Amino acid sequence: MSEVEMSQEQLNYELAVYREQVAMIKRETERVSLTTIDLTNALKTVENLQSGEALIPIGGGALARGTVSNTMVLVPIGAEYLLEMDKDMAADEMRRRIDATRKAIEKLNIEFNRIVGKLREVSGQLQRIEVQDQLNQRVDSNIREDYI
């Protein structure tokens, strides 16, 4: 295997790795974005929570009419544990989490742009090698034709 072929193989491998990283970051960004939407909806619900009649989701798009008698909120704190908070504390916690997810999206976007830059760089290198290889093959072909 020639040095050019080894270099092309290495660059093709790097290209595949960068493409997979880009796809992974896109998936993670979508997941975090959905989390942000869920948290924003939860924040709106908590902010508007009050005692009185309400429609309560029971799953599958079905709702039950009920009465809210307590405006304390159970907030997940990790590992499937819940912490009971008053609605103001719960709203503050939701805002904090929304900010954290937005910062995570910003970091993912920065990493995405960095990897896309590397992807373009490697793609350009590979293209230059392929063009140079084609030129070398033409020159070799022309030299053979001239001497045969």
What is the tens place of the pLDDT at every residue in 32-80? Answer: 999 999 999 999 989 988 888 988 889 999 999 999 888 899 998 889 8
* Mean pLDDT of the 23-35 span: 96
Chain segment 98-141, per-residue pLDDT in tens? 999 999 999 999 999 999 999 999 999 888 888 887 887 777 77
The upper half-sphere exposure of residue 31, i.e. CA atoms within 13 Å in the direction of its Cβ, equals: 8
Residue 139 inside a domain? The answer is: yes
Three-state DSSP at 80 gives coil
Residue 80 inside a domain? The answer is: no
Residue 62 inside a domain? The answer is: no
pLDDT of 146 reads: 61
Residue 35 inside a domain? The answer is: no
Residue 19 inside a domain? The answer is: yes
H or E segment to which residue 73 belongs:
strand 73-78
- Count of domains in the chain? 1
| Residue 119 and residue 64 in contact, taking contact as beta carbons nearer than 8 Å | no
User: How many other C-beta atoms are found inside a 10 Å radius of the C-beta of residue 131?
Assistant: 10
Domain boundaries, position 118: 3-24+86-147
Residue 54 inside a domain? The answer is: no
148 pLDDT band, cuts 50/70/90, is low
Residue 9 has pLDDT above 90, yes or no: no
Residue 59 inside a domain? The answer is: no
Residue 56 inside a domain? The answer is: no
Residue 144 has pLDDT above 80, yes or no: no
pLDDT of 132 reads: 83
Q: What are phi and psi of 81, to 5 degrees?
A: -100, 150
